[in-house]
Homo-oligomer: A and B are copies of this chain.
Amino acid sequence: MKTKHILVLGGNGFIGVNLVNRLIQNRDTVVIVFGLGVGDNKSVKYVQGDFNSQQALENVFTTYSIDTVVHLISSTSPADPDGLGMIHDINSNLTTTIQLLNLMKKYQVRNLVFASSGGTVYGVDKNADPEVSFTHSENDFNNPISSHGIVKLTIEKYIYLYSYHFGIKFLILRISNPFGENHFSLSHGLINVALKNIINGEKIEVWGDGSVVRDYIYIKDCVDIILNLLDRNIVNQIINVGSGQGYSISEVLNVIKQVTGGFDISYYPSRKFDVPKIVLDITKLQSLIPFTPTNILQGVKNTYEWTVDQMKKIS
């Protein structure tokens, strides 16, 4: 079997670390990770570089014969509120991705997996009742209410353009809210951050009244899905990647309580750039590959045990 070279952009991030850990189990795959961090895994070729520097990225393409690029880099989060943040978002995410697409065209790299954002690209239709219509399939309207969502959507459009004109094959994955092992952010990801705070004896921070509904996907499910789609050579598709189930923050906290026991909560004002409710319709995903989401209680238990282990290592 021919050896495949997979370049992972953002391979030191949450999804990236989990994906790379699984990719290196394939003997016929060489994994190259490009980004700001460094790794300690002997089976991975780490290339340090800034995604904003086209030259650093081009060096990767001249050094390795890449088969597939997995693009997981996102330098902003949905909460960035002002116009300045928007223009930064465009420069650091959109412009850089166009540079990536140009390099893929130049070096004839044919396959791209892009992590889009299931939580933000649909947004809110002012004319629809958000209490009723918040489960979205891939062909639904796109009215993002955050710059993060608009930029993700715009990147999707440029990928389509490059696919149309230059034959790049894409998998655009609109991923919901992932949680689970190998999560190191202290600010993003309700479940992971809450578990860290509980173990540290700190309060849990909640924005809004706990009614915000999200689709949480266990990270191992998310990685399984990506590998499965790659294995089956499914291309030129936009696919929702989520559990297909909605949980309010209050419901998630109840699940966490079952696993950890009690904790205290600090409530903060809701963030207006957050969509009130969003669940992904995963009918399309399940028509392409077999997928049954891990029960959220089981996922949270696993994540809790990993977090406890991790804290022991640090202290």
Q: A residues engaging B (CB < 8 A)?
A: 82-83, 86-87, 90, 94-95, 98-99, 101-102, 105, 124, 126, 139, 141-147, 150, 153-154, 157-158, 160-161, 163-165, 236, 272-273
Q: Which residues of B contact A82 (CB under 8 A)?
A: 102
Q: CA–CA, A94 to B102, complex, Å?
A: 20
Instruction: Report yes or no: A94 in contact with B90, Cβ–Cβ below 8 A.
Output: yes
Instruction: Report yes or no: A165 in contact with B90, Cβ–Cβ below 8 A.
Output: no
Given A95-B90, A143-B157, are A164 and B83 also a contact pair (CB < 8 Å)?
A: no
Most buried by B among A147, A154, A165: A154
Q: How far is the CB of A125 from chain B (nearest CB, A)?
A: 10
Instruction: Report yes or no: A150 in contact with B154, Cβ–Cβ below 8 A.
Output: yes
Q: How far is the CB of A155 from chain B (nearest CB, A)?
A: 10
Given A90-B95, A98-B83, are A144 and B157 also a contact pair (CB < 8 Å)?
A: yes
Q: Which residues of B contact A141 (CB under 8 A)?
A: 139
Instruction: Report yes or no: B158 in contact with A86, Cβ–Cβ below 8 A.
Output: yes
A-B contact pairs, 30 of them (CB 8 A): A82-B102, A83-B99, A83-B101, A83-B102, A83-B105, A86-B98, A86-B158, A87-B95, A87-B98, A90-B94, A90-B95, A126-B163, A126-B236, A139-B141, A142-B142, A142-B157, A143-B157, A143-B164, A144-B161, A145-B161, A145-B165, A146-B161, A147-B158, A147-B161, A150-B154, A150-B157, A154-B154, A154-B157, A165-B272, A165-B273
